């Protein structure tokens, strides 16, 4: 069950609303994937704000909650494919942590769909662009973060 049904009336974003998305990208794979998407001139929406972290395992559940508290409409965590982690098992840890975070978001009523974990390697520029497009559309469907008063206080 997602929080989709719980949107406030009139919170479909109105005219000017654009999804505000934070993406945590691991230094070794996904951030390089973003670079490749850039140099290959793959188009993706400008709604994504990329934050580089050294490993997807660095992303604490608190980062996700805090981003949402501060007005993000969606949070994306990307890292190396399982088995490819630069630190051997960081992404495995991220997987466990992010599953818990999704459960927590569901319990809190924000909905697990506002967050996604995706594996993108340095050679997958196309996948990076595609993930960003897809996730932005998904968040657009969900509407503004319920914590931002229908998108009005979002930063």
The residues of the shown chain that bind another protein, judged by CB under 8 A, are: 1, 3, 6, 60-63, 65-66, 68-69, 96, 100, 103-104, 106-110, 146-147, 149
Q: What separation in angstroms does the CA of 154 have from each of 75, 103, 147?
A: 14, 24, 9
Q: Are 59 and 36 in contact (CB under 8 A)?
A: no
Task: Specify the residue, 110 or 120, whose C-beta has the smaller distance to another protein.
Answer: 110
Task: Specify the residue, 121 or 145, whose C-beta has the smaller distance to another protein.
Answer: 145
Task: Specify the residue, 50 or 104, whose C-beta has the smaller distance to another protein.
Answer: 104
- In whole angstroms, how close is the CB of 125 to another protein at the nearest point? 32
- In whole angstroms, how close is the CB of 72 to another protein at the nearest point? 13
Task: Specify the residue, 97 or 140, whose C-beta has the smaller distance to another protein.
Answer: 97
Q: What separation in angstroms does the CA of 130 have from each of 38, 48, 68, 80, 101?
A: 13, 12, 23, 16, 24
Helix or strand run (H / E) with residue 17? none
């Amino acid at each position: 069950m997602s929080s989709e049904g719980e949107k406030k009336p009139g919170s479909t974003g109105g005219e000017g609303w654009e999804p505000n998305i934070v993406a945590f990208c691991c230094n070794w794979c996904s951030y390089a994937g973003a670079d490749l998407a850039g140099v290959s001139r793959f188009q993706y929406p400008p709604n994504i704000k990329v934050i580089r972290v050294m490993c997807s395992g660095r992303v604490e559940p608190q980062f996700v909650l805090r981003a949402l508290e501060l007005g993000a409409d969606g949070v994306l965590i990307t890292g190396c494919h399982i088995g490819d982690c630069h630190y051997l098992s960081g992404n495995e840890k991220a997987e466990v942590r992010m599953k818990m975070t999704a459960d927590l978001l569901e319990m809190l009523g924000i909905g697990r769909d506002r967050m996604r974990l995706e594996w993108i390697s340095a050679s997958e520029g196309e996948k990076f662009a595609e993930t960003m497009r897809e996730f932005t559309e998904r968040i657009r469907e969900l509407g503004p973060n319920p914590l931002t008063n229908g998108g009005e206080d979002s930063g």
